[in-house]
């Protein structure tokens, strides 16, 4: 656990922080819309705690539970209408990365009824938005503390994020107990996403002294937990769960400063075309990323291994074993089509050690086939 802190959002952490700090939500109004997925929020106990907290404060609520994995822009636009229909003063997002990211976009769409898909992506930043409260139930994306919302564009079914100061939560409740109900596969995939955030940020040219502190805090917790998952191949205990959850939040704080690198961008096509979970899609490209990091940032690479207490071979073997993405059926025509979207100075490519190109992306993807 870490101390309560202010970033762009107010973060309250620790066991039972939702019910113990219910009164903090009253500042945002008398009605809210809860944005979540199907049963995960209920199974984790987070939905029940939030409802109890709202009832305690006399805050009315409606529930919008249509958020699927890789949420569509059309769904968050629908959620914005649901918030207006409920006369919601604020939005509460409960769940993993998809519901939390969606809640941010719902809050923007609620305040801007004229937004269609192009309007949301092309909005002036900051746009109007309802206040957002976030309660995470997975240990991976760090969405609780980031100013990013990753959505799927209905027009081409490609993942594309929105970001800006209007995408930060006003209040975050960070309680690792809500992650205890995650199954093994989801635990692994989300942890790999958090690892990708931390590693990619560590090698970013924007990784300043503050980001390096967040990265080191994240890396030590996340990798230690991943080693346990790799060795035991079973659900972790509560101590490991806490390491994973708070590690993912620290990685999110680092991500705010550093941004992501090419594994996140290139990984999108693995999710879009093969249904590979986001975390594993990112770390499928991690061996390629680490090879470039060793070449172009050799001292930072040495420091990374020192922080992890690992050697290069064991690090890559652990990532590959947990990721398990290989033998994908790809044609050169498909690869050319996917890589056509990465022409020019792609932000996350330029944020990678030595830079990255569409041709390198094609080669890295082909190695997975």
- Domain CATH code at residue 198: 1.20.1090.10
- 8 Å CB contact between 165 and 125: yes
Specify whether 207 is located in the same domain as 81.
no
- Same domain? For 191 and 64 the reply is no
2 has a pLDDT exceeding 70: no
Do 208 and 303 reside in the same domain of the chain? yes
Q: Which residues contact 365 (CB under 8 A, 6 or more apart)?
A: 266, 269, 270, 330, 335, 338, 339
State residue 4's pLDDT score: 57
Cβ neighbors of 232 (< 8 A, separation 6 or more) are none
Q: 234 and 133 share a domain?
A: no
DSSP code, position 112: -
Q: Both 145 and 203 in a single domain? A: no
Q: State the pLDDT confidence band at 351, using cuts at 50, 70 and 90.
A: very high
If asked whether residues 163 and 195 sit together in one domain, one would say: no
Confidence at 39, pLDDT banded by 50, 70, 90: confident
Per the structure, how many domains does the chain have? 2
Are 209 and 267 within one domain?
A: yes
CATH number of the domain residue 75 falls in: 3.40.50.1970
- Provide the H-helix boundaries in the chain: 17-20, 40-44, 46-57, 73-85, 97-111, 117-121, 184-202, 209-232, 238-258, 262-274, 278-283, 286-296, 298-308, 312-323, 332-339, 347-350, 358-366
Residues 144 and 198 placed together within one structural domain of the fold: no
The residues, any chain, with a CB within 8 Å of residue 209's CB and separated by 6 or more, are: none
- CA dist., res. 104 & res. 7, Å (int): 17
> How far is the CA of 340 from the CAs of 154, 160, 362, in angstroms?
19, 15, 10
**Do 245 and 264 fall into the same domain?**
yes
pLDDT digits (tens, 9 = 90+) for 199-255: 999 999 999 999 999 999 999 999 999 999 999 999 999 999 999 999 999 999 999
Q: Examine the fold and report which residue of 151, 178, 205 is the final residue of a domain before the chain moves on.
A: 178
- Share above pLDDT 70 across residues of the chain, in percent, rounded to a whole number: 98
Mean per-residue pLDDT, 43-54: 97
Q: Are residues 171 and 202 in the same domain?
A: no
Residue 67 and residue 17 share a domain: yes
Q: Say if residue 195 is in the same domain as residue 238.
A: yes
| pLDDT tens profile 67-86 | 999 999 999 999 999 999 99
Q: What percent of the chain has pLDDT over 90?
A: 95
Domain boundary among 146, 178, 210: 178
What is the extent of the structural domain holding 317?
184-366
> 182 and 190 in contact (C-beta within 8 Å)?
yes
Longest distance between any two alpha carbons in the chain, whole Å? 59
**Per-residue confidence (pLDDT) for residue 6, from 0 to 100:** 52
Which residue among 160, 178, 196 closes a domain? 178
């Amino acid at each position: 656990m870490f101390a309560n802190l202010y970033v762009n959002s107010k973060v309250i952490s620790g066991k039972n922080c939702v019910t113990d700090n219910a009164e903090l939500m009253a500042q945002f109004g008398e009605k809210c819309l809860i944005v979540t997925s199907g049963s995960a929020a209920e199974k984790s106990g987070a939905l029940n705690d939030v409802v109890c907290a709202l009832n305690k404060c006399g805050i009315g609520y409606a529930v919008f539970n249509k958020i699927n994995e890789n949420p569509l822009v059309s769904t968050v636009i629908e959620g914005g209408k649901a918030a207006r229909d409920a006369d919601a003063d604020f939005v509460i997002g409960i769940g993993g990365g998809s519901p939390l990211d969606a809640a941010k976009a719902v809050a923007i769409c609620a305040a801007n009824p004229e937004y269609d898909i192009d309007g949301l992506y092309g909005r002036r930043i900051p746009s109007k938005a309802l206040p957002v409260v976030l309660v995470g139930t997975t240990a991976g994306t760090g969405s609780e503390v980031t100013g990013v919302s990753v959505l799927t564009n209905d027009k081409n079914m490609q993942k594309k994020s929105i970001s800006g100061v209007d995408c930060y939560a006003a209040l975050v409740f960070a309680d690792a107990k809500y992650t205890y109900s995650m199954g093994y596969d989801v635990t692994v995939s989300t942890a790999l996403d958090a690892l990708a955030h931390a590693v990619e940020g560590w090698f970013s040219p924007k990784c300043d002294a503050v980001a390096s502190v967040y990265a080191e805090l994240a890396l030590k917790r996340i990798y230690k937990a991943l080693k346990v998952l790799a060795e035991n191949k079973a659900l972790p205990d509560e101590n490991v769960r806490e390491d994973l959850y708070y590690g993912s939040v620290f990685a999110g704080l680092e991500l705010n400063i550093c941004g992501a690198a090419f594994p996140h961008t290139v990984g999108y096509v693995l999710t879009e075309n093969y249904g590979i979970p986001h975390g594993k899609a990112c770390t499928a490209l991690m061996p390629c990323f680490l090879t470039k990091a060793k070449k172009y940032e050799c001292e930072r690479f040495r420091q990374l291994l020192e922080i992890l207490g690992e050697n290069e071979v064991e690090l890559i073997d652990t990532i590959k074993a947990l990721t398990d993405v290989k033998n994908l059926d790809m044609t050169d025509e498909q690869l050319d089509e996917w890589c056509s979207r990465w022409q020019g100075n792609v932000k996350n490519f330029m944020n990678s050690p030595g830079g990255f190109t569409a041709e390198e992306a094609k080669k890295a993807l082909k190695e997975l086939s």
